[in-house]
Amino acid sequence: IPSSDTYIEKETQLNEEIDRLRHAATQSILSRRDTIIVASVSCIYGLGSPAEYAKIRIQLKKDASFPRQKLLRRLAELQYSRNDVDFHRGTFRVKGEMVDIYPADALDKYVHLGFNGDVIETIEERTILTGETTIGLTNIDIYPATHYVAPAERFTESLDMIEKDLSIKVNEFTKAGKLLEAQRLKERTNFDLEMMRTVGYCNGIENYSRYFDGRKLGEPPYTLLDYLPKDALVFIDESHMTIPQITGMLAGDRSRKQTLIDFGFRLPAAFDNRPLSFDEFNKKVNRLVYFSATPGDYEKKVSEQIVEQLIRPTGLLDPTIEIKPTKHQVDDLVHQVRERTKKKQRVLITTLTKRMSEDLADYLTDEGIKVHYLHSEIDTMERLEILRSLRLGDVDALVGINLLREGLDLPEVSLVAILDADKEGFLRGETALIQTMGRAARHADGHVIMYADVLTNSMKRAISETNRRRQIQEDYNRAHKIKPKTIIKAISESRLAGAKISTEPIPLIKELKLDKISPDELKHIITDLNSQMELAAQNLEFERAAVIRDQINELGDVAKKRKRATRR
């Protein structure tokens, strides 16, 4: 906020699990061919140079000479920090001639190295919880703890270049009489430089990524796409939504950065910490498949071949469609919801305005219908819980505006009601109508009611397309004697994307030989269990966390008894 000389630092914390998965993904791409990566549209943001990421890695081989002190220095260069007490991802610890490394992509295992002088005698993979060896290795590669890395010589050169550009920009501000901006930029950048010289990192280091990557002014940043091999196959899901997102992200990012640069909060190099433009994206992808039930004009234009996937394995059909007048639409809707509720089916209702959604939700509640209003102010986790409550039957109907479209897989929903369907516009265009109606295509009794007094062109096209698809599906089912079956899908606990679902059994303390465990080892086991408990809680695995907590308490009691016995 230039007017008050206020700079608000980003407060978003890096999701540890997502960062771990990011490292696991890039390392898999660089080390093997059979890799599948699932990414959001954010994959077009900068990620650091894949060449440097691979080049700077440490290659360790059993029985090979690698002086221990050299290894420790190299680990520090890769942004690993030494921590003999709190051993976590991105750290290493040293005890005598043994070095333990917790790789950036690891979850519950670490690398144990045993030295005999300067020779690596053993390389083992061990579990964090018990320290037991899971596998002996002959070699292993240790990749950097961050994607923003550079060789030592490049790092020093980069800092010199930052200082040079700082001097140029400060002089520009001074000549223009912008002394406040000059002082602001000088203080902020010098602070960042001092941090990078001291610890090799600073908040917002990505804004200096152009220097570390060796890119020229205006060159596109390295992204996840640069890690992919040339013959990689890229799928874009819901392309009618994703393509416009990719197209617009660069302009939005530049608009935000412009203020920071104009008022001396950042160097102009911050412009180069940006998402790819749409043209740059296309140049980096050689083989591309678009997925969409409603492809846009662009996808149709550039596609060499268009394939329709209309037949579902369950034989399900696109929903039947009915048009009803808007007069008494709410009363009719109440009746329709009650009829579906009797059959233990669910209903989605879409309106045009926030006010109408709120009023309708209140009215349905007064009528004794269990309803929830889904709106944009609800955060992701709460939204998932609301959708889960609909599937469980805690809620009979959901009312929303533009959130009841792509990505909702709700097999229990048999009716989609579209109010004011004849109000031509973005929310009632052909694409929006087809996507909304598709939410009823997971149920054998799928049905759509459009409340409208006029048949708009968008309605005509959407109805015609849906009926065309349904006819093809019916013909196929008839020819192959298939009876449509509603999808049976388990209702699981909501989880954040990227959260790991525990499949391994929880280690039991009764399996540990407590009488042979030293006090120090017992302390380490309790510390490791605490880490496991926190991870389980972060991943919403509360039952697992509770079991681990109980075991921590038992071990704590053992430690106390030992302490009392020692005093006696």
Q: Please indicate, yes or no, whether residues 399 and 350 belong to a single structural domain of this protein.
A: yes
Q: Please indicate, yes or no, whether residues 415 and 515 belong to a single structural domain of this protein.
A: no
407, pLDDT greater than 80: no
C-alpha span between 90 and 80 (Å, rounded): 5
Residue 519 counted as domain residue? yes
What's the mean pLDDT when you consider all of the chain? 87
Contact 335, 397 (CB under 8 A): no
- Which of 97-101, 260-264, 382-386, 416-420 is predicted with the least confidence, judged by mean pLDDT? 382-386
Q: Please indicate, yes or no, whether residues 430 and 554 belong to a single structural domain of this protein.
A: no
pLDDT at residue 497, rounded to an integer: 43
Q: How far apart are the first and last CA of the chain?
A: 65
Domain count of the chain? Answer: 2
Compare 561 and 418 and report the one with higher pLDDT: 418
Question: What value does the mean pLDDT take over residues 300-317?
Answer: 92
pLDDT at residue 524, rounded to an integer: 75
Residue 103 counted as domain residue? no
pLDDT at residue 514, rounded to an integer: 65
Residue 54 counted as domain residue? no
Q: Please indicate, yes or no, whether residues 411 and 476 belong to a single structural domain of this protein.
A: yes
pLDDT at residue 495, rounded to an integer: 46
Query: What does the DSSP assignment read for 255-303?
Result: HHHHHHHHTTSS-GGGGGSSPPPHHHHHHH-SEEEE--SS--HHHHHH-
Residue 435 counted as domain residue? yes
Q: What is the pLDDT of residues 36-63, one digit of tens each?
A: 999 999 899 888 889 889 999 999 999 9
- Which of 7-11, 68-72, 295-299 is predicted with the least confidence, judged by mean pLDDT? 7-11
Q: What is the pLDDT of residues 9-38, one digit of tens each?
A: 554 445 677 888 899 999 999 999 999 999
Residue 232 counted as domain residue? no
Q: Please indicate, yes or no, whether residues 334 and 464 belong to a single structural domain of this protein.
A: yes
Domain membership of residue 534 as a residue range: 509-567
C-alpha span between 183 and 177 (Å, rounded): 11
Q: What is the pLDDT of residues 109-163, one digit of tens each?
A: 999 999 999 999 999 999 988 888 999 999 999 999 988 887 778 888 999 999 9
C-alpha span between 100 and 298 (Å, rounded): 52
Compare 553 and 90 and report the one with higher pLDDT: 90
Q: What is the pLDDT of residues 203-237, one digit of tens each?
A: 888 899 899 888 888 899 999 999 999 999 999 99
Q: Please indicate, yes or no, whether residues 475 and 535 belong to a single structural domain of this protein.
A: no
Helix %, strand %, coil % of the chain (to 5): 45, 15, 40
C-alpha span between 532 and 291 (Å, rounded): 39
C-alpha span between 295 and 241 (Å, rounded): 9
**% the chain with pLDDT above 70:** 90
C-alpha span between 45 and 56 (Å, rounded): 22
Residue 29 counted as domain residue? no
Residue closest to 139 by CA, chosen among 119, 123, 121? 123
Last-in-domain residue among 435, 459, 480: 480
pLDDT at residue 418, rounded to an integer: 96
Structure tokens at 221: 């940043």
> Which CATH number covers residue 532?
4.10.860
Q: What is the pLDDT of residues 347-392, one digit of tens each?
A: 999 999 888 988 999 999 999 999 998 877 777 778 888 888 898 8
Compare 129 and 245 and report the one with higher pLDDT: 245
Q: Please indicate, yes or no, whether residues 450 and 367 belong to a single structural domain of this protein.
A: yes
Residue closest to 376 by CA, chosen among 397, 394, 348, 357? 357
Q: Please indicate, yes or no, whether residues 338 and 450 belong to a single structural domain of this protein.
A: yes
Q: What is the pLDDT of residues 464-506, one digit of tens each?
A: 999 999 999 999 999 999 999 887 766 655 444 444 444 444 4
Q: Please indicate, yes or no, whether residues 326 and 470 belong to a single structural domain of this protein.
A: yes
What sign for the dihedral angle of Cα 397, 436, 432, 239?
positive
Using only the alpha carbons of the chain, give its radius of gyration: 29
Q: Please indicate, yes or no, whether residues 399 and 450 belong to a single structural domain of this protein.
A: yes
pLDDT at residue 510, rounded to an integer: 54
Residue 200 counted as domain residue? no
Residue 397 counted as domain residue? yes
Question: What value does the mean pLDDT take over residues 316-327?
Answer: 95
Phi, psi for 487 (deg, rounded to 5): -65, 130
pLDDT at residue 474, rounded to an integer: 96
Contact 126, 117 (CB under 8 A): no
pLDDT at residue 4, rounded to an integer: 57
pLDDT at residue 500, rounded to an integer: 42
509, pLDDT greater than 50: yes
Q: Please indicate, yes or no, whether residues 462 and 563 belong to a single structural domain of this protein.
A: no
> Which CATH number covers residue 449?
3.40.50.300
Q: Please indicate, yes or no, whether residues 462 and 395 belong to a single structural domain of this protein.
A: yes
Measure Cα distances from 14 to 11, 22, 203, 206, 407 in Å: 9, 11, 12, 13, 25
